[in-house]
Structure 1
């Protein structure tokens, strides 16, 4: 995943403060791996969209769950320390061993009936497969993450520059196979760049390496974007080409190849300025479900909202949408029906308390202004535009005055 999929260095101060508020609200509770909830069905791990819990103005995951019905998220990314070494960190900076912030986010998701997978690697940064000297050492580093958070699923996002390093890829795939053996029923996905031919030369070498060591993950997923793609039809063409590569390189029959194939898209405007609208996601979704693909996900939930007051591609999609519209596709892929979140068709019947006008995404509000939204009355604490009541938390701009 692109590094607008890691830390967005140029995020405005308000965005950084929003991320800090989210973490502050969740960091005081840590999940106990021994008390982790029973795993969800693999359909949820196969549909888990990517979410950066520490960067790119992370939304409240429970708000997203309530609005979409999604139960699982793919938390990103685990990397080697920026200074070198073979110990797992979040984004190269925060040691997993001492983490409380992401642990609190996981507790919040699990408390709402959901769960997480964790993604290792991504685009840029230093990967553990590059710095750990062996398969065993790489596997041990990732086992620390699984044990710390009581994980039932893990994603290997194998991209540049590690993607082109034969020894590093051997460490990653060998570690994935080891983890699969040592953690019964662990859901393992492998994600790699996509091209019009399915994947490139290094991708086919990755498949050959997996075949040579007898490693079969739950799915191999391609990312058909940032490569001259033009909408959903071009992505479907790439997925069909990748299906052929799975047949020829893994030795699978057609049905097995489809069931082990996955799509990992990018919602809205890509890093290469390709545009993927909701209609494009629908095209790929229809292909994925009709061919019984094994995974349907996207980068990222942090971007699954319209751009208001910013065009920062790390925190909004730059296409026309309602908040969390793209996440509803992953919910449907898991087999659930997303809740209806549109405005009510008739005014509330409670006397007097919801006389305020319905909140509008484009309206500017100042301190003291009141609105109604989702059956509650809200009061703005300060100037705001585009911040949806109920999504900014207790330290956010809107005070909840209760139901109406």
Structure 2
């Protein structure tokens, strides 16, 4: 569950990193002069700065008005040990690449949070022997980049490991104490009823050690979800869990609750359209939820020449449509963009008045085309699937000769 696709494009493929590195004045990111208001950290979408074909964050900022990003992920080294690395490979102490990206974001008036954990790799809570050792590893990250916010993304298999979760939550509490004002979020798997069993145990553990993060967020995807309404139902379930497990009243529970969605096609082939994000956004703002984020900015663009789920959404959209929901959640007004449209093609001569099907064109559900003397209607988004070749279960409905 909660799989987050990692496309191994490597450091050489990340042109952004090479360019950003040359801008870094030192090995460390220049600290933000002042923290952004917490609404921006609460709306920061995830962005992988070293893989999954990272977009230029300043381009995204200029197009959306978004000011903060959740950089992912800090892990234990692939070879083991209690030292923070990016993606298990790049040691934080010697990093210049991500530091350069952070400098670019801050130079444009924004800031970052950093996410620790995630779906893949080995987590520091699993390899560091104690909560204090885990906290010391994460403190290196906070100090290195001058962070004002951090996210604990606690997923399988770590969330099922009692000792590892004790290390992570104990570290989170120490970081709160040692870094006054630090914005701290905890992200965990979501199921139809809210947090899963291990998530509720995590909430109980946090209560037992006196840890109150800024929010507990669930990821309602990769679990049989069907659009925004199912996600809203899961969030309502989490709301009830926060009240019953922590003794909070309704308003307090909503204020400490967060949504961490997945834009477009999930790894379990669920589809979350722009309209689904609107449904959840309306719920989140009307109930005054404490966080609204998603995985990921790397995927927040239409698929062109690829269907790689790590670098595009596989649903109809303009670039950065999903990020604009985060901007709106922070209280800002994103720039206006034109909705995606179906490309126009020449009309077929003769009795077929529909446009002729074109292999390179993108078609959305309900679009009518002509091909081989028949009229065809698309059932859903498609590109490159020739009418008449995919059978009755394919994307095209044969409306007969024309």
- With the shorter chain as reference, the TM-score category is 0.7 to 0.9
**CA deviation map 1:20-43 (0-9, x unaligned):** 211111012337567432100000
Hey, what does 2:18 align to over in structure 1?
A: 24
C-alpha distance after superposition, 1:48-89 (max 9, x if no partner):
000000000000000000000000000000000000000000
SS in 1 for 2:116: strand
- Provide the TM-score with structure 1 as the length reference: 0.82
Alpha-carbon separation, structure 2, partners of 1:34 and 1:317: 33
Whole-Å separation in 2 of the counterparts to 1:164 and 1:288: 28
Q: Could you tell me how far 1:199 is from its partner in structure 2?
A: 1.3
Q: Deviations over 1:203-251 (max 9, x none)?
A: 1100000000010000000000000000000000000000000001111
Which residue is 1:139 aligned to? 135
Partner of 1:98, secondary structure, is coil
Within the candidate set 185, 192, 199, 1:196 is matched to 192
Pick from 301, 306, 325: which aligns with 1:305? 301
Unmatched tracts of structure 2, length 5 or more: 340-359, 362-402
Q: Is 2:174 the partner of 1:174?
A: no
CA change 1:337–1:34 in 2 (3 A) is closer
TM-score by length of 2: 0.82
Q: Secondary structure at the match of 2:261?
A: strand
**2:314 maps to which of 294, 308, 318:** 318
Give matches, 1:377-396, under 5 Å.
Answer: none
Q: State how far apart, in whole Å, the 1-side matches of 2:82 and 2:12 are.
A: 31
Unaligned runs of 5+ in 1: 344-361, 364-404
Find out whether 1:282 has 2:278 as its counterpart.
yes
Call closer, same or farther: CA 1:33–1:61 in 2, change over 3 Å: closer
Contact 1:62-1:108 within 8 A present in 2 as well: yes
How far has the Cα of 1:126 moved from its partner? 0.4
In the alignment, what sits opposite 2:7?
8
Aligned to 2:205: 209
For residues 69 and 167 of structure 1, the distance between their equivalents in structure 2, rounded to whole angstroms, comes to: 41
| Other-structure match for 1:220 | 216
Contact 1:124–1:161 (CA under 8 A) maintained in structure 2: no
2:168 is equivalent to residue 158 of structure 1: no
Indicate the residue corresponding to 1:329 in structure 2: 325
Computed over aligned residues only, the root mean square deviation of the Cα atoms, in angstroms, reads 1.6
For residues 117-165 of structure 1, what are the alpha-carbon distances to aligned partners after superposition, in whole Å with 9 as ceiling and x for unaligned?
0000000210000000001000000000000000000000000110100
Give the CA deviation at 1:3.
5.2
Q: Is the radius of gyration larger for structure 1 or structure 2?
A: 2
Partner Cα separation in structure 2 for residue 4 and residue 241 of structure 1:
23
